[in-house]
Structure 1
Amino acid sequence: MNLKEIDYKHLFERGLQGTHLFNNWLDKSRYADFIVLLALRLYLVPVLWMAGSEKFMNFTETAEWFGNSDGGLGLPLPYLMVFLVALIEVLGAIFLLIGFSVRVISIPLMVIMIIAGVMVHLKNGWLAIATGSGLFATDRTRAAIESLEQAKSILQQFSNYDVLTENGSFVVLNNGMEFAATYFIMLLVLFFYGGGRYVSIDYWLSKRYTQDE
């Protein structure tokens, strides 16, 4: 066949038709889009529950850190602040689990993530776990990795390193913005889209009261 005889317009139209059919098939997956919102909720539940319950269990120590202006956050009314933050986190875990007031509870939780990100994590850069290479590595994380390698060398020389690491490798917590920013983005999605269809109390309450109107 002569290349000049090829009907490029026909091939282009067939390609567009195929793309359209494929997109229609992909659109059918939206019937299960509630799974995405459920996954976000369930992911955040243990994160928030552990954060809030830890604050309640170590209430005095956490309040002292909240109020300490030398090495802490230097916040006013630290005991009240700890109580409110811990309460919001615990309630947030419960509400997200059952899908109740998801959009409402996302607001104070996002505020907490912003404050934590700016006041606690920002100074440490982006990475949550220190790494010595890559785009987001800093002098801080590279120095941390050097210290980690020295610590590993000592442990390998004077202890059973395989036993010490059989349940996981040693890492250095950099405590950067990564986790706080990730949780904020997840909460932002829940704020705009809610808890999702079928698997949230919000959905059934909305459906009931909409039908009553």
Structure 2
Amino acid sequence: MKYLINSVLHWYQQSLQYFRHLDGIAALALRIYLVPIFWMAGQNKLMHFNDTVAWFGNPDWGLDLPFPTLMAGLATSAELGGAVLLALGLFTRLVSIPLIITMIVAILTVHLPNGWQAIADANAPFANAQVLASSEKLEKAREILQNYGNYDWLTSSGSLVILNNGIEFAATYLIMLLALIVLGGGRYFSSDYWLSRYMNKFRK
């Protein structure tokens, strides 16, 4: 029996040695997922930069942040530059830091007052008063569209929902970036890996 257990453990350890060559796939998947998100966010800020600056600085309908032009520039640069570097897997751990800061600022200044849910769903966990109140409004909107619009056509691309704009998505991206600080760009699939191998040749 002891011999059998030892054999199984030995086989298990040997199998893990083969799977370690695939450990870069997790980091690659995280990077590929995040690239279009940050690229589109940065592009949107850049294309409407004056509006972005106004939104960052306005105390009435904006974020009321200090130095709005600088803050908007930093956020735009972090998202566009971050998307490019994540796509390449270059300086992955380093570039994750400003993106994490961007996500924390977004959570605290934009999303936190709306609670957890990104899409309002009164039946889901963490439904706050704002989400619960949205159910009646959503039902009324459906009723209006069913009576006065082509409801089947309007919903043919997806269900009618109310955007709650909570922290759910930003928190998810934050967690993914924290994972990339630990994982790095990933074995084989990142510029970081090949740059590290190249640099190690000169250290020997």
Task: Provide the TM-score with structure 1 as the length reference.
Answer: 0.88
**Cα distance change, pair 17–85 in 1 and its aligned pair in 2 (3 A):** same
Of 138-147 and 14-23, deviating more is 14-23
1:118 pairs, out of 99, 108, 122, with 108
1:67 equivalent to 2:57? Answer yes
Aligned to 1:101: 91
| Deviation sequence 1:19-47 (CA, Å, 0-9, x none) | 74785476343321111100000000000
- Matches of 1:109 and 1:186 in 2, distance apart? 11
The 8 Å contact of residues 88 and 190 in structure 2, kept in 1 or not, is answered as yes
- Aligned pairs for 1:193-204 within 5 A: 193-204=183-194
- Matches of 2:7 and 2:137 in 1, distance apart? 56
Deviation at 1:145, TM superposition (A): 2.0
**Cα distance change, pair 143–205 in 1 and its aligned pair in 2 (3 A):** same
- Matches of 2:111 and 2:12 in 1, distance apart? 41
| Deviation sequence 1:72-126 (CA, Å, 0-9, x none) | 1111111121111101100000000011111110001000101111111111111
- Matches of 2:3 and 2:135 in 1, distance apart? 55
Q: Which amino acid aligns with 1:158?
A: Y
The 8 Å contact of residues 21 and 187 in structure 2, kept in 1 or not, is answered as no
- Matches of 1:37 and 1:176 in 2, distance apart? 26
| Deviation sequence 1:145-169 (CA, Å, 0-9, x none) | 2201110011011111111111111
- Aligned pairs for 1:1-213 within 5 A: 20=9, 23-24=12-13, 27=16, 28-213=18-203
Deviation at 1:135, TM superposition (A): 2.1
- Matches of 1:35 and 1:101 in 2, distance apart? 17
**Cα distance change, pair 82–19 in 1 and its aligned pair in 2 (3 A):** farther
Of 130-139 and 84-93, deviating more is 130-139
Task: Provide the TM-score with structure 2 as the length reference.
Answer: 0.92
- Matches of 2:11 and 2:88 in 1, distance apart? 35
- Matches of 2:155 and 2:36 in 1, distance apart? 25
The number of residues matched between the two structures is 202
Q: In angstroms, what is the RMSD of aligned CA positions? A: 2.0
- Matches of 1:86 and 1:193 in 2, distance apart? 25
Which consecutive residues of structure 2, in runs of 5 or more, have no partner in the other structure?
Answer: none
Deviation at 1:71, TM superposition (A): 2.6
Which consecutive residues of structure 1, in runs of 5 or more, have no partner in the other structure?
Answer: 1-9
- Matches of 1:24 and 1:153 in 2, distance apart? 61
Q: Which amino acid aligns with 2:198?
A: R
- Matches of 1:157 and 1:91 in 2, distance apart? 47
Deviation at 1:212, TM superposition (A): 1.2
For residue 168 of structure 1, give the secondary structure of its aligned residue in structure 2: coil
Of 14-23 and 170-179, deviating more is 14-23
